[in-house]
Amino acid sequence: MNRARVLLYDSLMSYAVISTWKMSLNGALIAGGVLKNGGTTLEAIKAGINDVENNPDYLSVGYGGLPNREGEVELDAAIMDGSSGLFGGLMGVKGIANPIDVAVALSKKRLNCLLCGAGAEKYARLKGFEFKNMLTEKAKKQWEEQEVKDNELLSLASYNGHDTVCFAARQENSLAAGVSTSGIFLKTPGRVGDSPIVGGGLFSDSDAGAAAATGDGEDILRGCLSHEIVRQMEGGRTAREACETALFNHLKKMDRKNLKVGPISLIALGADGSFGAATSLDEFAFIYTDSDNPPEVWIAGAKTGMEKAAAERLNQYARD
Ligand code: ASP
């Protein structure tokens, strides 16, 4: 380990949280509070994601999420504990009020921890998790309007109605990452993106760092980007350098293959105490907080790097 890394370890903050999109601001506050009170990284991530899952105003996660082509809300969620190496996840589930809660329960198991569809719902029922109709009037209306205009997913502008809430958390030397999403609006029923796939939508190793991704899931999976970020941090890069290296190398590679790539945004926390993000968008908002700093909105840009968002810039930022 080189000297710079040792120095960063010396100044390690006791806890930190990073999360995607402005919609996770309150969740990051809640997650930070859990860690401050001595909670685990998994407890903090669950609490932070629950806040977004339960808010019907956010049309891309949990209750109020946008439906698939047939008008049904199909949800994905996963969590990975970087200390034990255990993970749990759900794919394409219907009616589960808080998919991240079930993912956390599954992450206590070494095998049978990533469940899809009917099997996942059966497990959640058996374990007594809450079920409800996840399709709100607002989301249904958007589906009906979109369906009337056009039934083709590919004709939708990228990021039109999809954003995953991703959290990474550190408590002392322990790291974890978690995600929850309704996936891409008007997706083919049964479609799964990167979010619940370990290595794609999330990855965590407490020796190196934790990372998670949002954007066009198929494009994220093609580069196993969350794993790649953690691998870059293991090689000595800070969280920000790792996100940028993973993203821009991937984009170059896809370009060489002449493959069109949709928007991708990445966040990470390093075991060295660093945090960072990278994006292919002009603007991608994320939240960062730690033991010394309250949650604040940061904005990353493909050409501008990342900076804390000044009030004026925040006012102009239109997305969730
Ligand atoms: N990555 C998610 C998916 O492909 C969507 C998103 O994050 O916007 O399902």
Q: Which of 68, 156, 180, 181 to mutate to test the pocket of ligand 1 (most atoms within 8 A of CB)?
A: 181
User: What average pLDDT score do residues 80-105 get?
Assistant: 98
Residue 206 lies in a domain: yes
**pLDDT at position 160:** 61
Residue from 20, 41, 164, 214 carrying the catalytic annotation? 164
What's 215's domain CATH number?
3.60.20.30
Residue 204 lies in a domain: yes
88 neighbors 178 (Cβ within 8 angstroms): no
Confidence of residue 280 (pLDDT cuts 50, 70, 90): very high
Q: Which of 164, 188, 224 to mutate to test the pocket of ligand 1 (most atoms within 8 A of CB)?
A: 164
130 neighbors 56 (Cβ within 8 angstroms): no
Residue 252 lies in a domain: yes
- For the cut 50, the answer to whether the pLDDT of residue 11 exceeds it is no
Confidence of residue 219 (pLDDT cuts 50, 70, 90): very high
Residue 7 lies in a domain: no
For residue 208, the CA-to-ligand 1 centroid distance in Å is 25
| Beta-bridge partners for 301 | 305
Atom 9 of ligand 1, nearest CA residue: 183
Give the total number of structural domains in the chain.
Answer: 1
Q: Is the dihedral of CA 156, 55, 204, 130 positive or negative?
A: negative
User: What average pLDDT score do residues 81-104 get?
Assistant: 98
Confidence of residue 144 (pLDDT cuts 50, 70, 90): confident
State pLDDT tens for residues 45-88. 999 999 999 999 998 999 999 999 899 999 999 999 999 999 99
Give dist(CA 309, CA 22) in Å, integer. Answer: 11
Closest C-alpha to 279, from 233, 220, 228: 220
Confidence of residue 264 (pLDDT cuts 50, 70, 90): very high
- For the cut 80, the answer to whether the pLDDT of residue 150 exceeds it is no
For residue 69, the CA-to-ligand 1 centroid distance in Å is 16
**pLDDT at position 159:** 44
* Residue 132, helix vs strand vs coil: coil
- For the cut 90, the answer to whether the pLDDT of residue 107 exceeds it is yes
**pLDDT at position 23:** 93
Instruction: Compute the mean pLDDT over every residue in the chain, rounded to the nearest whole number.
Output: 91
For tokens 């959290």, name the residue.
Answer: 167
**pLDDT at position 161:** 58
Q: Which of 19, 162, 165, 166 to mutate to test the pocket of ligand 1 (most atoms within 8 A of CB)?
A: 162
Atom of ligand 1 nearest to the CA of 263: 8
Give dist(CA 286, CA 290) in Å, integer. Answer: 14
**pLDDT at position 146:** 78
The question of whether 181 is a catalytic residue gets the answer no
- What does residue 187 show for φ and ψ, rounded to 5 degrees? -65, 160
User: What average pLDDT score do residues 207-227 get?
Assistant: 97
Comparing 151 with 79, the larger pLDDT belongs to: 79
Confidence of residue 158 (pLDDT cuts 50, 70, 90): very low
Residue 124 lies in a domain: yes
Q: Ligand 1: residues within 6 Å at CB?
A: 162-164, 181, 183-184, 193-195, 214-217
User: What average pLDDT score do residues 92-120 get?
Assistant: 98
Confidence of residue 12 (pLDDT cuts 50, 70, 90): very low
- Domain holding 200, by residue range, is 14-316
Residue 3 lies in a domain: no
For residue 282, the CA-to-ligand 1 centroid distance in Å is 18
pLDDT above 70: percentage of residues in the chain: 90
Q: How many CA atoms lie within 13 A of 25 on its CB side?
A: 12
**pLDDT at position 152:** 55
Residue 291 lies in a domain: yes
Atom of ligand 1 nearest to the CA of 214: 7
Residue 129 lies in a domain: yes
**pLDDT at position 4:** 47
**pLDDT at position 147:** 61
Order of strands, sheet of 284-290, starting from the edge strand that comes earlier in the sequence: 114-116, 87-93, 75-81, 174-181, 165-171, 15-20, 284-290, 293-301, 305-308
